Structure 1
Amino acid sequence: MSSSKQASRRNLSVKGLQAVLADKLDLRLSGWEILGGVMVVRLDPGYSESEKNLIGETIVRLHPTAVTVVNRMSIDDELREPVTEVIAGSKTESIHLENGCKYKIDPTQVMFSFGNKEERKRMAKISSPEETVVDMFACVGQFTLPLAKHSRPEKVYAVEKNPVALRFLKENIAQNKLSNVEPLLGDCRDVCPTGVADRVLMGYLFDTHLFLPTAINALNEHGILHYHFNCTEEKLEGEIQRILNLALKHAASANVSKTVQIKSYAPKMYHWVLDIDIEK
């Protein structure tokens, strides 16, 4: 391969791909995520099968690491199961390396948000060897793995309702050689341990408030919740107060120590995390 072609592969961007395909179709996608050798795209609806295959095959030809391209169309809210189609290649299982952790992932079977990368970095530094942590929505270990590996808490209870995601979680615990993580299968409201945690991770974006009683019940007499939710900037202050009011139905005090904007979720809608100090 010539040096110019190698450079074009290294520097491939959405705009570059649009330019390559301009004489064949109008490429409409907001971006992509590369997970190991699998590229996950979100194409606008309306493309024919042949057009989608052309897009996928062009990405594989030009991108330096992509061997498979998956179009993610939607996500089931409750079990976070992706609705996808493979538009190039065939191998969908891959190893994603990030922050010293190995994630075995199949984006046609389980959800993994590349956009949460900075929050995963934050979780890697947030705990300590004296702590016990509960991850209520562990999935494949998005937050559990970096927290358990780098902060090294005494114990992490990683709860996951989706049995497919739990299988990947167990494999990821093993391949990262973590002895301080206990995976638990089931709805967190049924299987979360109680009265044990110094901090609780609530990495779920849909009606997160419904899980506040379980999260607070998992804490010791005092601890920290990492509460994820979606909200516009205009409504943020009111939403934070609503969350605190709900928490105060189950705790003596609830105060926000930090507010983090994670990523844009939709036009004018953002993914946020609140660090909430709880006294029971």
Structure 2
Amino acid sequence: MSPKSPRGSTNLFAAAGMEQDAPRPLPDRLRPAVLSDVVGQDHILGPDGALTRMLATRTLGSLVFWGPPGTGKTTVARLLADATELHFEQISAVFSGVADLKKVFDAARARREMGKGTLLFVDEVHRFNRAQQDSFLPVMEDGTVVLVGATTENPSFELNAALLSRARVLVFQSLDAAAIEKLFAHAEKIEGKKLPLDAEARAVLVRMADGDGRASLTLAEEVWRAARANETFNAVQLQDILQRRAPIYDKSADGHYNLISALHKSVRGSDPDAALYYLCRMMDAGEDPLFLARRVVRM
């Protein structure tokens, strides 16, 4: 399957290059072209990073990328395929079933017979049930595909032990303020203009991104769309224009447990500022006050 066509063939408009002139969101236009352009994941892609060492040997095993949204999991998988000269195939566990997997595996086998390997990127891999996850095992073992799965959930709880035993888990981290600033600087260079924000508003925009690189660029694009000629926003105006972005928080998943754990550690470490931050963040996201009260009593 080709990203240009759902049936795997390039259509006439794409062949003529007309899609290049179509409007594209800023995060898509700024998608890194090489692994060294990826920001915020130096522990994986830096000089001594895990993937850097793998690429130095020109070998790539199956991997599971675990991390929050907007940290570069899909981009890194695509660039890994380029760096290792593997055919890149992408599916989503949300939209794919057994029949789709069979087609992908058959295509990978045919490709292998022609001397071409396949990197199969599975987004939201934890959404596959146990039987579907087991279907990957034979094609991983015989080298038909190099599997790269992406998940926002703890793979130890969500993925089969058999699958995990055949893949290495790499943890993607939320982008820190410096990494978000790098993205903003790159966006300003591509757009040829500065973000119309004063220093305080720019710091607020970094916090609004909440460690999500894709979200940071989307927010930056919204700022440019809202600004009139020679207009500069302060922090209050910025929050009014963007209507603020709620921090990532899922009461039934890892975000819930990560934040309550952070609250515990802050209290135990006698850090009142951090404790208040995590408490307010959970309340602002809609956490059940009784749950928080019970936790505080236990502390």
Question: TM-score, normalization: structure 2?
Answer: 0.25
Q: Which has the higher strand share?
A: 1
